[in-house]
Structure 1
Amino acid sequence: MIKLIVGLGNPGQQYEKTRHNAGFLFVDCLADFFDASWVAASQFQGELAECNISGSRLVLLKPMTFMNKSGMSVGKVLRYYKFRPEELLVAHDELELVEGIVRLKRDGGHSGHNGLRDIIAHIDSRDFYRLRVGIGRPAAGKNVADYVLSKMSSDSQLSLMRLFELLLGCMGGVIEGDLALVNELVLSK
């Protein structure tokens, strides 16, 4: 059962609605949908919200440590609440999936994602769930860092929000760890 959902992103207004902040956007949608309020939690170097989904308490976290240092915040929350890595779901942007696709998986490497790399290092485990939010790759010859840190178009933002709305309908099963519910969720065009 998932007890902690972490959305990866970078704090600050300049990073709002960038592709790299897809994880922040997802947990913000969750908090809004379940009427949970974000609270600054300096002891965790992040913002926390708590909600109830299908009768289970769920903690939401947005690390305020910047993407590449997310593991510090995640590790502190896991230890404080005594959650196990397998009770963790990390929502993050995924270059290898086209925009409009979300996949849920458990376990695996970091695939070059620095936020995941830091979490794995701090919790000493790869055994956690990942909600991979497709952002696609930049055009050939374009810089990946510039691409992920650039603002999404209004059409892309709208598509992402529609995708998250579909995902909200599955959250009870996702919390239970039912990978089949979101093995691949695709927004129809």
Structure 2
Amino acid sequence: MDKYLIVGLGNVGDEYDMTRHNTGFMVLDAFAKASNIVFEDKRYGFVGETSLKGRKVFLLKPSTYMNLSGNAVRYWLNKENIDQSRLLVISDDVAIPLGQFRLKANGSNGGHNGLGHIQQLIGQNYARLRMGIGNDYPQGMQIDYVLGRYGEEEMKVLQPAIDLGVDIIKSFVLAGIDITMNQYNKLGKNGGSKS
């Protein structure tokens, strides 16, 4: 059976709940909720399992904290013997406006600590969905911004992108990265609207 690992990046703990840096967790939570998947506390992370048309899908929210995310990703790839081409990592990105997203088959970490650590351990040849959180912060305040919570108005902008993120996970598993990029990246530039 084909196996897939879908990783949402974030930090565990109530103090990080609904923060911009936890957008990866939020996409996975939305996917889990839509599919009635329950996360269990396992080694290096919270793991949920489901299957889509005969393909086994593991959802992973690393419990390692962001800058050690690679430990969790590498462990679960090895443990379940999942090919790296079937790995999708979802992260926040300050370089992309809030509510927009980019799906890429590989590439640099773009200065993201979580992606950076994954890259150190497994290289940069894996798919990633970068969810825009915007960069509306004064110089030198990036850390406060990414660890800050979303406001109600921001969530209205973000929610359509999170909903599309759920669709992207399904498409990645069922159709593959190339088709999924072709189908969704143009939507990502419109801020998640299907117009």
Letter in 2 for 1:106: A
TM-score (norm 2): 0.88
Deviates more, 1:168-177 or 1:103-112: 168-177
Match of 1:149 among 131, 147, 150: 147
Is 1:106 aligned to residue 111 of structure 2?
A: no
- Report the counterpart of residue 21 of structure 1 in structure 2: 22
Q: Deviations over 1:120-158 (max 9, x none)?
A: 1122x2110110100011334251011000011012123
Match of 1:139 among 137, 140, 159: 137
- Report the counterpart of residue 77 of structure 2 in structure 1: 78
Whether the 8 Å CA contact 1:2–1:86 is kept in 2: the answer is no
Q: Aligned-pair distance for 1:27?
A: 0.5
Tell me the percent identity.
33
Is 1:91 aligned to residue 90 of structure 2?
A: yes
Is 1:130 aligned to residue 113 of structure 2?
A: no
Whether the 8 Å CA contact 2:3–2:56 is kept in 1: the answer is no
Letter in 2 for 1:121: Q
Letter in 2 for 1:113: H
Q: Distance in 2 between matches of 1:35 and 1:101?
A: 26
* Structure 1 stretches lacking a partner, 5+ long: none
Whether the 8 Å CA contact 1:102–1:182 is kept in 2: the answer is no
Aligned residues: 186
Q: Aligned-pair distance for 1:2?
A: 7.3
Q: Aligned-pair distance for 1:174?
A: 2.2
- Output aligned runs, 1:52-71, within 5 Å: 52-71=51-70
Is 1:181 aligned to residue 183 of structure 2?
A: yes
Letter in 2 for 1:67: M
Cα root mean square deviation, aligned: 1.8
Q: Distance in 1 between matches of 2:168 and 2:118?
A: 25
Q: Distance in 2 between matches of 1:115 and 1:85?
A: 17
Q: Distance in 2 between matches of 1:55 and 1:154?
A: 38
- Report the counterpart of residue 164 of structure 1 in structure 2: 162
TM-score (norm 1): 0.91
Deviates more, 1:20-29 or 1:179-188: 179-188
- Output aligned runs, 1:20-59, within 5 Å: 20-41=21-42, 44-59=43-58
